[in-house]
Structure 1
Amino acid sequence: MKVTMKDIAKELNISINAVSIALNDKPGVSESMRLKILRTADKMGYINEKHHYLSVFSKSNICILMQSYYANTGHFYSIVLRSIVERAKELGYISILNYFEDNQFEFPDCIIDRKVTGILVVGKISDQNLNQLKNTGIPVVLVDYTSLGDTCDCVLTHNKQGGYLITQYVLDKGYKRVGFFGDLEYSLSFSDRFMGYKQALVNRNTISDIESYINQYSILHETEKYVLENDVNSIVSLLKKSELPEVFVCSNDSNEAVTGK
């Protein structure tokens, strides 16, 4: 049997008129009650049967997409996600979190059914998958990432400047052998911090061969997977393969904790 407004009203113990007002986005019920009615209607299957109401329902949701690879990244992304959810809630939105695989990308149901008013992608996403999202017509914003091949709104920190300033600070303290510790393929933030580190070395103008210097003292690959797995032995092996610098400029706090710098 098809779900009716009467069924929804009965489920919530409210009037049919209140249900109708909420589903048709008309004034007369509080925003909290409107969302409660919309969610109950969706849970009971009414929204899917009545596509006329999808545009109304979509106004209350945002979709958060993040590669499953980042699910265990620890403190940083947990803060980002919590901040997004809390701020969205303050503005009257419900966040729907979906993990994805970049090489096997699939639209989550909330996007297919157009039950969201916007999409936030946290971390990396390929240009191909980004274009698929943009082609839905739903606004997309990238968080902690930007595409070099396609225009898209994004939210970034001053990673290059941060890498530059910390390296400059260490050099000003008199250290001569300064390496970089971080997986450059892990995220755009890491590579930007590395570029800041490298620029500080160039500007110092006392190193004859920058590339050889960096290769001698830096560890730029595979570090993050070992950090995430808390695989100390593998990290120690990486450290033993390189000539240790006096100081490591680390790509993030987790690297800093492991290297003890």
Structure 2
Amino acid sequence: MQIGSATSYPAPAATSLPARLLASNVSPDVSPDITRAAQAPVTAAQPLADEQSASAREEADKPADASANPAKAQSREGQPSPQQQRLEQLEIAKLVSRDQEVRTHEQAHAAVGGRYAGAPSYTYERGPDGKRYAVGGEVGIDTSPIPNDPEATLRKMEVVIRAALAPAEPSAQDRQVAAQAQAQMAEARVELAQQQRSEVAAAREARAEQRKETEEEKPAEEEKSSAPVQQDQPPPPSLVLYRQLSGLPAPAPVVDLLV
């Protein structure tokens, strides 16, 4: 008889109490096989219960780990997790915004600087999508003065200052370039003032020399005006004609008769 076989009888896991001895309470008329059938399930229940509880714990642990760490579960499969995708999208949006800001900044320098500004150059960074985004840039601006022409230097430095401060938010480097241009303007003003003083002094000297020459010429003219002026006398009249007329005979009287 296989009634008491442990393989076909699932004993409950709650039977933690020691097995009761039924042999003393069984009637002598009961078969020993029946006694063993009653006792076998109690003694074999403990290993089977341990095995079932262990397998239940393993099954419970597996879905808990997968649900708690979905990123790790998907990373094992070679695909980015939703959290990683969100992070990449945020990084790309940040790079796009930075690219637009940098390009607008540098193009403002170049547009206002005109012939004194160079072409913009950029520093790029590759994003998670494989594209390159500008994260830095610069524009060369000529801040050198124009030799021997302070007025032209002043006009140039005014353009340089406007170009350096053209962006909506000038950087520290932009403000430094504007400060250098202002220093050049101060030097040009000093040079212009010196040049103007030199021109005024030269004009004063020229007027003084002209006045001196005028004063030297005036006495000579006065001496010429005080000297006697000899006027040319006309030649005496010729008497030859009178003599010829006096030698002619007297004309005969003529009488005109009117009829």
TM-score (norm 1): 0.25
Question: Which one has the bigger helix percentage?
Answer: 2
Q: Which has the higher contact order (CA 8 A, sep 6+)?
A: 1
TM-score (norm 2): 0.25
Give the structure with higher Rg (CA).
Answer: 2
Question: Which one has the bigger strand percentage?
Answer: 1
